[in-house]
Chain A
């Protein structure tokens, strides 16, 4: 028995071989790589907070003034209020347009469209639209809406650009949510004498709504941070007046861009403060999206 045991040990315990070292080294590289991204994230968040701190205590930016004053060329008087209002207006208009178009398209594709060549072409087009750079959406709206339709560089035009940008994202996530509703439920509704639309409106959409809302909120969070399309349609450098839907406008990201591009350190510090506000809004929306999914998701117990 003791002989057997020691034999087993020599077979199983090879000592430290070249292969072990190589394996461990490889793992170490993978771990380091994985934490590189996290380190960058931590560095970024730390920097934003530190800059905000220096904006308040080094440059004497009063947080209340910062959040309630409109922007200005004069660094001492510049605030973030007009940009925040601009972003809020954008969010309201974008969510109405993008939700309606996005969910409508998803319902058409998932519930109505026949499975043929045209539908597949449509889906391929959708995938490609999702990959079009945001700056091109800005160019599109600049050519068609701002100058083509002649409405000028107003907030509404910026909202159209952002809405078109996130429609493909909303479509894809809505389709996923609709697919998660089991077919047996659709059949049950049809057998109860419901028309197709009655089935969709009364059963399918309510069941898919938590997933659709989650996807829409995440897409809106993407839109709220977009800068390039707004600049392309002609957003202002400095938003000195609080914009409405039909005014020339600026938004949080465009204001941040202007500040960050200035040479004065105080403007850069204010850009950091602005980014903090933007990130707080963004993370709140992402948190809300996760909450909606966890709280309202329908479990079908399949």
Chain B
């Protein structure tokens, strides 16, 4: 059978399976390397954003500063965070990020007004009311909706939402919608995040134990009571998690708003006006193929850093909520 040595009559020592063990170790290192890619990605995101953003604020990039380059602040944080004009590439440049943060926030809030109520109501219907047959059609349709590329939603805004939905409504309320507007961007971002709110909220509602519902029914509660007073409160942290995720997605949404919401950085509350989000600024500036080291190029990373930190905060909050929900019911 195996090469039994004098000291190993049983033939079970490591010498016997040396080759297989070596292969096992090699494979383990390769797999560990694969896992390392995701860690490296995270680290690289932080490094690249901070490194280039520091070039935007301090003339020299972070790694150059570490290597001994001078630190000279050319753009103050006060100007960056409180200035109300954003035009880093203009002949008279201005570096106030507020207008494009405002643009992102209006889209996010506007989208939430669509995705949260509609997504939640959809989740309630699917989880509490619908028959198996309706569910069998509804859920795949929502999955298809979730799988549509965001660029298609941008096109949808220009081609359908603005001319056939917003313009007629605008005429009634006295707003005139151009080809691009804040409202069009918010509308399509809202539609595209409905499936996210609906499916995660529904999962949360489904994991509410049936005993709780039955307890309420036994006390004579109606279906409405059970849905709103038992299921919703019990699933609340899971439902909030879905809202946070939808908000995070809306903050980072790029192509739909680049096409639908416009390219003008301004602080406005008028939904028929064009606005510019942080992401729109980024794809616009990258399209200009600005050269490495220019203030335009570095501004990409400064804006990217703010965007990344905003979504990171949302993701961490979402983790928290999910964890709390898991502790409650699973």
Report which A residues bind B (CB closer than 8 A): 19-20, 22-23, 26-27, 29-34, 36-38, 40-41, 43-44, 47-48, 51, 100-105, 107-109, 112-113, 122, 124-129, 131-136, 138-140, 142-144, 147-148, 153, 164, 167-168, 171, 195-198, 218, 221-222, 224-228, 231-234, 237, 253, 256-257, 260-261, 268, 271-272, 275, 278-279, 282-283, 286
Contacts and interface: CB of A to CB of B under 8 A. Distances in A.
Contacts of A131: 245, 248-249, 311-312, 314-315, 318
Given A143-B48, A167-B37, A278-B152, A129 B198 contact: no
B224 A133 contact: no
Contact of A127 (B32, B311, B315): B315
User: Which of B224, B311, B314 counts the most A-chain CB atoms under 10 A from its CB?
Assistant: B224
Nearest to B263: A261
A166 B143 CA distance: 17
Contacts of B129: 27, 30-31
Interface stretch (B76-84, B88-96, B284-292): B284-292
Contacts of B41: 129, 140, 164, 167
A26 B227 contact: yes
A30 B123 CA distance: 8
Given A34-B138, A131-B311, A139-B282, 13 more contacts: A19-B222, A26-B224, A30-B124, A30-B129, A36-B122, A37-B142, A101-B37, A112-B31, A135-B304, A197-B24, A218-B147, A228-B150, A268-B159
Contacts of A168: 38
B37 A51 contact: no
B111 to A, nearest CB: 13
A107 to B, nearest CB: 6
B300 interface: yes
Contacts of A127: 315, 319
22 contacts: A19-B224, A26-B224, A27-B129, A29-B121, A30-B121, A36-B194, A38-B141, A43-B156, A103-B34, A112-B31, A131-B248, A133-B254, A135-B254, A135-B307, A138-B286, A218-B147, A227-B149, A253-B151, A257-B255, A275-B152, A278-B152, A279-B152
A40 B27 contact: no
Given A43-B160, A135-B307, A171 B38 contact: yes
A222 B147 contact: yes
B30 interface: yes
Interface of B: 17, 20-21, 23-24, 27-28, 30-35, 37-39, 41-42, 44-45, 48-49, 51-52, 117-118, 121-122, 124-126, 129-130, 138, 141-142, 144-145, 147-156, 158-160, 191, 194-195, 198, 222-224, 227-228, 245, 248-249, 251-255, 258-259, 279, 282-283, 286-287, 289, 292, 300-301, 304, 307-308, 311-312, 314-316, 318-319
Contacts of B292: 147
Given A128-B315, A140-B44, A104 B304 contact: no
B52 A143 contact: yes
Contacts of A124: 319
A255 to B, nearest CB: 10
In the A-B complex, list the 9 residue pairs whose CB atoms are closest, starting with the nearest.
A133-B252, A225-B149, A104-B34, A33-B121, A30-B125, A108-B31, A228-B254, A143-B48, A131-B315
A43 B152 CA distance: 12
B155 A139 contact: no
A142 B298 CA distance: 11
Chain B at the A interface: SS class:
helix
Contacts of B145: 37-38, 40-41
A131 B312 CA distance: 8
Contact of B138 (A38, A102, A256, A272): A38
A135 B52 contact: no
B118 A44 contact: no
B144 A231 contact: no
B224 to A, nearest CB: 4
B147 A257 contact: no
A108 B66 CA distance: 35
Contact of A256 (B118, B151, B252): B151
A171 B121 CA distance: 31
Contacts of A147: 292
A134 B249 CA distance: 10
A132 B141 contact: no
A205 to B, nearest CB: 12
Contact of B307 (A43, A133, A260): A133
B45 A140 contact: yes
A231 B35 contact: no
A132 B155 contact: no
Contacts of B222: 19-20, 23
B248 A108 contact: no
A153 B292 CA distance: 12
A37 B194 contact: yes
A195 B287 contact: no
A272 B149 contact: no
A254 to B, nearest CB: 8
A159 to B, nearest CB: 14
A125 B42 contact: yes
Contacts of B34: 100-105, 108
B286 A231 contact: yes
Nearest to A165: B41
A57 B195 CA distance: 35
A34 B159 contact: no
